[in-house]
């Protein structure tokens, strides 16, 4: 292993009432790929902010090339060759690739006019893109790039700063399988050219594939280090949550009942020429797997009435229904827990109680006036039964953690009578503990007779939780798997459009 | 009552006290009565402006609407000798219809509210000027409408009736905004239209209703303005009045980003604007400085409010920091 150029020694950071980091030591040598894992709130982002110079640690030393620093500045961190590829990419969509790479340090010309020298700019960017094997040009507008391409652009930007260590925060969370593989190749290339990578991810498979060693954080402490040879799924999970992960699957209380929701030749605006036939039965959790862009969310949107279907029909309990808007779906007991809860699921700057009663406000009102007492009583019941951690129901939703926010979305719908619940990525951005709770809730609801359709890109989740699984490929159902046939291989074969053997 | 409203109320009281101290005529019954009259006139449609702002939109067409509906109203009464009750109802309905057209363009055709209502501003004034050949419209000599005049410009014990109407409408709209299902929907749509849609709210209808309410109130206001001025020169009648409405709503705490606002705040905003106008007259400030004084006070008020919010956050931060430190210090003494 190369001599480490960057060392964190005994780093601690405390906020009022919270110890975000305690005695964390970590060293990075050139050409090393280090996996950093931990539950949400384990302190990963604080540690990275310390490296980025955004947060000053309250204890410990940062040793850079043999010099000790109590803290870094943003400039100092950049000058030392520490670069970030963020989860939410920080790019200017209205500019082209070259402009994004050199934003703020464009080559100038024209003397005092200080005009941007576009030719020089592009010439400087081209070799960077070639080095990463990017399939886009310096002139391409960022708005035309896919998420994977934008990420490569971010890496190119990092390299343009002469980065020695690139920190990637959840880089694969919105990539397809092939894009992920491409990224792993890039990481391997960076490694051979001597650039170190800190790879933060919840996807343990990818961590297993690409890192030299793994560092595990829990509650702000470093709880374990695993060498290449001892990196195993189970051992990582055990370290992350401090206990063994029990089997996700809880079998249903009884066999599934009649078909509740039946999609008949339903076609979505995204894939107007592909028809979907799918039925969800009473009391079952039907997983809907597939790659990003397979049309799963679009299907959910069409069923919930957000988008008008391009054709086909929907039957509920054997009766053909027309859904021309979310109100129609809601009135019939079809509810959607959307993918992006902050944008579509919740009004985060409103209180919990206001959010919970919003879809059913008329039933809390008499003569058009809202009875806030009735609203509050219902919200309190929901908080109790869903075990939402909140001081009072008037608290703003924005102040809750991801898992608790997701429970507020659920509380909205559980205040009414659900027949069909569609979960779109139910545990995205939710930590491991709350995940288990949400799975338990789904099972309990299914056992009460609700038909559940769960869209998930997380293979572990969709395999672990579903009773039956439909796999989508390019807008159509590629195949249905029964519980006995569940395996990552079977799902992937269907998801990429290969027929099952 | 919101904290914002309280600080506005305090600002009004401070300015009022200072003005009264400098010129006692400020609190003379006749001056208060006249000011109340103006508050009623300018406050009525400000409530509508606030509703539109809460959706995240804006209505710039109001001043021109006063000119257009004003000349039509005068014509209906003087030339066509229409029953005044019917004519008033027609004005309100015409306002609502125009609001409906704005809403259609904004919700269905997806045009920006600023552009739609800016075009309205140009259109309605142009039509009003063409309708009267750029002349002045007024009632026939000797024409009088005792009941209508009593309702609009009449006063009882010095209390202008239009002020009473304004307060009554403010109370109703306050209940609508703060306690009704529709009011809740309006704020939800203003804060996050997509999440509101995912909760089954017909967001298009909610936004449309806000524009219809705003233009309907403007229709009613146009009657009050006609009865106040008695004659209308469509080239200048109501110029900039939309900005008084918007200023009152924004002063009253309506965020231009949408989703926030209170009717009580809008009322206070309208009160403050008229007190400022009055203060310019009473303190012998050249009336040409009228707008400048208003602009300066609004700017200072908003700035002070922002600083006050920052100060409170800073205080809370410091308290949060001091509390654990105290706890740490006492910790070793404990068991």
Q: 3-state SS of A318-371?
A: CEEECCCCHHHHHHCCEEEECCCHHHHHCCCCCEHHHHHHHHHHHHHEECCEEC
Nearest to A5 by CA among A66, A79, A57: A66
* Best residue of A14, A334, A338, A347 to probe chain B, by most B CBs closer than 10 Å: A347
Confidence label for A243 from pLDDT (cuts 50, 70 and 90) = low
Say whether both B153 and B300 belong to one domain. Answer: no
Tell me the chain B residues in contact with residue A338 when contact means C-beta distances shorter than 8 Å. Answer: 198
Tell me the chain B residues in contact with residue A345 when contact means C-beta distances shorter than 8 Å. Answer: 195, 198
Tell me the chain A residues in contact with residue B319 when contact means C-beta distances shorter than 8 Å. Answer: none
Q: State the average pLDDT for chain A.
A: 88
Q: Which residue of A has its CA nearest to B202?
A: A327
A419 within 8 A of A316, measured Cβ to Cβ: yes
DSSP-derived pairing of the beta strands A196-200 and A33-37 = parallel
Confidence label for B329 from pLDDT (cuts 50, 70 and 90) = very low
DSSP B331: G
Say whether both B280 and B294 belong to one domain. Answer: no
* Cα–Cα distance measured from residue A430 to residue A404, given in angstroms and rounded to the nearest whole number: 8
Residues B181, A361: C-beta atoms closer than 8 Å? yes
Confidence label for A7 from pLDDT (cuts 50, 70 and 90) = very high
- Mean per-residue pLDDT, B15-24: 94
Tell me the chain A residues in contact with residue B179 when contact means C-beta distances shorter than 8 Å. Answer: 369-370
Task: Give the CATH number of the domain where residue B259 resides.
Answer: 1.10.3470
DSSP-derived pairing of the beta strands A285-290 and A334-337 = unpaired
* Cα–Cα distance measured from residue B164 to residue B37, given in angstroms and rounded to the nearest whole number: 9
Say whether both B239 and B124 belong to one domain. Answer: yes
**pTM exceeds cut of 0.90:** no
Residues A359, B199: C-beta atoms closer than 8 Å? yes
Q: Greater confidence, B62 or A236?
A: B62
Say whether both B270 and B301 belong to one domain. Answer: no
Nearest to A12 by CA among A75, A78, A67, A71: A71
Tell me what percent of the residues of chain B surpass a pLDDT of 90: 72
Tell me the chain A residues in contact with residue B174 when contact means C-beta distances shorter than 8 Å. Answer: none
Q: Using the predicted structure, report yes or no on whether residue A501 has a pLDDT greater than 70.
A: no
ipTM of the shown complex? 0.86
A453 within 8 A of A424, measured Cβ to Cβ: no
Classify domain A4-241 by CATH number.
3.40.50.300
Q: What pLDDT is recorded for position B323? A: 55
Say whether both B15 and B39 belong to one domain. Answer: yes
Task: State the nearest Cα–Cα gap between A330 and chain B, in angstroms.
Answer: 7
* Best residue of B56, B199, B327 to probe chain A, by most A CBs closer than 10 Å: B199
Q: Is A33 helix (H, G, I), strand (E, B) or coil?
A: strand
Say whether both B204 and B306 belong to one domain. Answer: no
Dump pLDDT digits (tens) for A78-114: 888 999 887 666 788 899 999 999 888 888 888 888 8
What b/e sequence results for B29-63 when a residue is b if at least 16 CB atoms lie within 10 Å of its CB, and e otherwise? eebeebbbbbbbbbbbbbbbbbbbbbbbbbbbbbb
Alpha helices in B199-289 (DSSP H): 203-229, 241-251, 263-282
Say whether both B155 and B41 belong to one domain. Answer: yes
Q: What pLDDT is recorded for position A146? A: 84
Tell me the chain B residues in contact with residue A330 when contact means C-beta distances shorter than 8 Å. Answer: 199-200
- Mean per-residue pLDDT, A123-152: 88
What b/e sequence results for A478-497 when a residue is b if at least 16 CB atoms lie within 10 Å of its CB, and e otherwise? bbebeeeebeeebbebbbbe
Q: Which domain holds residue B189?
A: 3-139+146-284
**Burial (CB count within 10 angstroms: exposed 0-12, middle 13-18, buried 19+), residue A40:** middle
Tell me the chain B residues in contact with residue A408 when contact means C-beta distances shorter than 8 Å. Answer: none
Nearest to A136 by CA among A100, A166, A174, A190: A100
Residues B180, A368: C-beta atoms closer than 8 Å? yes
**Burial (CB count within 10 angstroms: exposed 0-12, middle 13-18, buried 19+), residue A304:** buried
Say whether both B196 and B256 belong to one domain. Answer: yes
Confidence label for B237 from pLDDT (cuts 50, 70 and 90) = very high
In A138-193, at which residue ranges do the beta strands (DSSP E only) sit? Answer: 165-169
Residues B188, A347: C-beta atoms closer than 8 Å? yes
Say whether both B251 and B301 belong to one domain. Answer: no
* Cα–Cα distance measured from residue A82 to residue A28, given in angstroms and rounded to the nearest whole number: 11
Q: Per CB distance under 8 Å, which residues of A are interface residues toward B?
A: 16-17, 304, 306, 325-327, 329-331, 336, 338, 343-350, 354, 358-359, 361-362, 365, 368-370, 412
- Mean per-residue pLDDT, B187-208: 96
Phi, psi values for residue B140, rounded to 5°: -65, 155
- Lowest mean pLDDT of A102-116, A253-267, A317-331, name the range: A102-116
Say whether both B168 and B222 belong to one domain. Answer: yes
Q: Using the predicted structure, report yes or no on whether residue A357 has a pLDDT greater than 90.
A: yes
Q: What pLDDT is recorded for position B330? A: 43
Q: Which of B179, B194, B198 sits opposite A369 (nearest CB)?
A: B179
Q: At the fourth CATH level, which superfamily is domain A248-333+418-501?
A: P-loop containing nucleotide triphosphate hydrolases (3.40.50.300)
Beta bridge partners of A198: A34, A167
Q: Using the predicted structure, report yes or no on whether residue A460 has a pLDDT greater than 90.
A: no
Say whether both B231 and B311 belong to one domain. Answer: no
Nearest to A356 by CA among A325, A391, A388: A388
Q: How crowded is the C-beta side of A61, counted as CA atoms within 13 Å?
A: 8
Q: Is A314 helix (H, G, I), strand (E, B) or coil?
A: strand
Q: Using the predicted structure, report yes or no on whether residue B318 has a pLDDT greater than 80.
A: no
What is the residue-wise DSSP string for A144-155?
GS-HHHHHHHHH
Tell me the chain A residues in contact with residue B191 when contact means C-beta distances shorter than 8 Å. Answer: 347, 349-350
What is the residue-wise DSSP string for B45-108?
HHHHHHHHHHTT-----HHHHHHHHHHHHHHHHHTS---HHHHHHHHHHHHHHHHHHHHIIIII
Q: Greater confidence, B1 or B272?
A: B272
Q: State the average pLDDT for chain B.
A: 90
Say whether both B134 and B262 belong to one domain. Answer: yes
Q: Using the predicted structure, report yes or no on whether residue A434 has a pLDDT greater than 90.
A: no
DSSP-derived pairing of the beta strands A67-69 and A59-64 = antiparallel
Dump pLDDT digits (tens) for A365-375: 999 999 999 99
Q: Which of A343, A365, A412 sits opposite B194 (nearest CB)?
A: A343
Confidence label for B316 from pLDDT (cuts 50, 70 and 90) = confident
Residues A306, B197: C-beta atoms closer than 8 Å? yes
Q: What pLDDT is recorded for position A89? A: 67
Confidence label for A162 from pLDDT (cuts 50, 70 and 90) = confident
Residues A358, B180: C-beta atoms closer than 8 Å? no
DSSP B247: H
**Burial (CB count within 10 angstroms: exposed 0-12, middle 13-18, buried 19+), residue A63:** middle
B275 within 8 A of B19, measured Cβ to Cβ: yes
Q: Using the predicted structure, report yes or no on whether residue B334 has a pLDDT greater than 50.
A: no
DSSP-derived pairing of the beta strands A285-290 and A451-455 = parallel
Q: Using the predicted structure, report yes or no on whether residue A284 has a pLDDT greater than 90.
A: yes
Tell me the chain A residues in contact with residue B187 when contact means C-beta distances shorter than 8 Å. Answer: 350
* Best residue of A361, A376, A399 to probe chain B, by most B CBs closer than 10 Å: A361
* Cα–Cα distance measured from residue A130 to residue B43, given in angstroms and rounded to the nearest whole number: 65
* Cα–Cα distance measured from residue A106 to residue A121, given in angstroms and rounded to the nearest whole number: 7
Residues B199, A306: C-beta atoms closer than 8 Å? no
Q: Alpha carbon A439 to chain centroid distance?
A: 17
* Best residue of A16, A300, A408, A410 to probe chain B, by most B CBs closer than 10 Å: A16
Mean pLDDT is highest, among A21-30, A383-392, B161-170, B270-279, for B161-170
Residues B192, A326: C-beta atoms closer than 8 Å? no
Q: In angstroms, how far apart are the furthest CA atoms of chain B? A: 94
Helices A432-447/A402-414 angle, 10° precision: 20
Task: State the nearest Cα–Cα gap between B284 and chain A, in angstroms.
Answer: 46
Range(s) within chain A of domains with CATH label 3.40.50.300: 4-241, 248-333+418-501
Q: Greater confidence, A216 or A20?
A: A216
Task: State the nearest Cα–Cα gap between B197 and chain A, in angstroms.
Answer: 7
The reply to whether B260 falls in a domain is yes
- Mean per-residue pLDDT, B10-33: 93
Residues A343, B323: C-beta atoms closer than 8 Å? no
A424 within 8 A of A288, measured Cβ to Cβ: no
* Cα–Cα distance measured from residue A265 to residue B32, given in angstroms and rounded to the nearest whole number: 71
Task: State the nearest Cα–Cα gap between A323 and chain B, in angstroms.
Answer: 12
Report in angstroms the alpha-carbon separations of B197 from A142, A307, A359, A396: 30, 12, 9, 20
Q: Using the predicted structure, report yes or no on whether residue A40 has a pLDDT greater than 80.
A: no
Task: State the nearest Cα–Cα gap between A389 and chain B, in angstroms.
Answer: 21
* Cα–Cα distance measured from residue B182 to residue A369, given in angstroms and rounded to the nearest whole number: 9
Residues B198, A361: C-beta atoms closer than 8 Å? no
Domain tally for chain B?
Answer: 2
Q: Between A and B, how many residue pairs show a Cβ–Cβ distance under 8 A? A: 74
């Amino acid at each position: 292993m190369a001599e480490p150029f960057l060392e964190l020694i005994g780093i601690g950071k405390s906020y009022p009432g919270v110890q975000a980091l305690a005695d964390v030591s970590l060293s990075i040598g050139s050409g090393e790929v280090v996996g950093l894992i931990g539950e949400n709130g384990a302190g990963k982002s604080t540690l990275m902010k310390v490296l980025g110079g955004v947060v000053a640690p309250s204890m410990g030393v940062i040793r850079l090339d043999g010099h000790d620093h109590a803290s870094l500045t943003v400039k100092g961190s950049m000058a030392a060759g520490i670069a970030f590829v963020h989860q939410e990419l920080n790019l200017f969509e209205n500019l082209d690739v070259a402009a994004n790479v050199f934003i703020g340090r464009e080559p100038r010309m024209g003397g005092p006019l200080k005009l941007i020298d576009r030719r020089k700019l592009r010439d400087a960017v081209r070799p960077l893109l070639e080095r990463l094997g990017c399939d886009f040009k310096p002139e391409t507008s960022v708005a035309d790039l896919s998420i994977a391409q934008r990420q490569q652009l971010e890496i190119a930007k990092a390299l343009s700063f002469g980065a020695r260590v690139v920190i990637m925060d959840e880089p694969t969370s919105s990539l397809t399988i092939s894009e992920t593989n491409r990224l792993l190749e890039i990481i391997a290339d960076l490694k051979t050219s001597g650039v170190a990578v800190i790879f933060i991810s919840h996807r343990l498979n990818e961590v297993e594939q690409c890192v030299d060693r793994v560092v595990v954080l829990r509650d702000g402490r470093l709880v374990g280090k695993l060498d290449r040879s001892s990196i195993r799924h189970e051992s990582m999970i055990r370290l992350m949550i401090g206990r063994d992960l029990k089997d996700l699957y809880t079998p249903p209380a009884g066999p599934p009942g009649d078909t509740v929701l039946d999609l008949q030749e339903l076609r979505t605006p995204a894939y107007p020429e592909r028809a979907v036939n799918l039925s969800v039965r009473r009391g079952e959790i039907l997983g809907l797997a597939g790659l990003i862009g397979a049309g799963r969310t679009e299907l959910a949107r069409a069923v919930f009435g957000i988008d008008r279907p391009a054709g086909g029909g929907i039957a509920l309990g054997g009766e053909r229904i027309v859904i021309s808007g979310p109100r129609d779906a809601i009135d019939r007991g079809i509810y959607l827990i959307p993918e992006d809860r902050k944008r579509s699921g919740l009004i985060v700057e409103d209180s919990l109680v206001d959010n919970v009663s919003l879809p059913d406000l008329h039933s809390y009102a008499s003569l058009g006036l809202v009875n806030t007492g009735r609203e509050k009583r219902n919200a309190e019941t929901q908080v109790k039964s869903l075990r939402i951690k909140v001081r009072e129901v008037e608290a703003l939703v924005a102040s809750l953690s991801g898992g608790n926010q997701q429970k507020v979305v659920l509380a909205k719908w559980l205040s009414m009578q659900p027949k069909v619940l569609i979960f779109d990525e139910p545990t995205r951005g939710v930590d491991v503990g709350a995940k288990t709770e949400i799975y338990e809730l789904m099972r309990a609801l299914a056992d009460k007779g609700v038909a559940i359709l769960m869209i998930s890109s997380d293979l572990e989740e969709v395999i672990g939780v579903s009773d039956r699984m439909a796999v989508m490929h390019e807008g159509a159902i590629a195949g249905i798997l029964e519980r006995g046939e569940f395996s990552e291989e079977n799902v992937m074969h269907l998801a990429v459009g290969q027929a099952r053997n | 009552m919101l904290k914002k409203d309280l600080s506005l109320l305090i600002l009004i009281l401070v300015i009022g006290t200072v003005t009264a101290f400098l010129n006692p005529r400020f609190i003379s019954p006749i001056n208060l009565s006249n000011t109340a009259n103006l508050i009623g006139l300018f406050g009525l449609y400000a409530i509508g402006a606030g509703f539109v702002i809460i959706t995240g939109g804006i209505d710039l067409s109001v001043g021109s609407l006063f000119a257009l509906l004003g000349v039509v109203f005068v014509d209906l009464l003087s030339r066509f000798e229409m029953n005044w009750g019917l004519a008033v109802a027609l004005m309100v309905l015409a306002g609502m219809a125009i609001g409906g057209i704005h809403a259609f363009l904004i919700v269905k055709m997806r045009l920006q509210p600023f552009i739609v209502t800016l075009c309205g501003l140009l259109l309605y004034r142009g039509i009003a000027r063409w309708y009267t050949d750029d002349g002045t419209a007024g009632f026939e000599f000797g024409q009088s409408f005792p009941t209508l005049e009593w309702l609009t410009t009449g006063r009882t014990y010095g209390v202008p009736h239009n002020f009473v109407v304004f307060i009554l409408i403010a109370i109703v709209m306050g209940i609508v905004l703060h306690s009704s299902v529709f009011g809740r929907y309006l704020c939800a749509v203003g804060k996050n239209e997509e999440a509101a849609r995912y909760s089954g709210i017909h967001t298009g209808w909610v936004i449309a209703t806000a524009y219809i309410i705003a233009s309907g109130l403007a229709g009613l206001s146009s009657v009050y303005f006609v009865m106040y001025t008695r004659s209308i020169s469509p080239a200048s009648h109501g110029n900039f009045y939309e900005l008084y409405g918007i200023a009152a709503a924004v002063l009253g705490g309506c965020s231009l980003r949408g989703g926030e606002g209170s009717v009580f705040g809008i009322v206070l905003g309208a009160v403050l604007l008229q007190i400022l106008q009055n203060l310019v007259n009473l303190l012998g400030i050249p009336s040409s400085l009228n707008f400048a004084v208003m602009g300066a006070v609004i700017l200072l008020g908003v700035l002070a409010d922002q600083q006050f919010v920052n100060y409170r956050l800073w205080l809370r931060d410091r308290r949060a920091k001091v509390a654990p430190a105290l706890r740490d210090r006492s910790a070793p003494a404990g068991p």
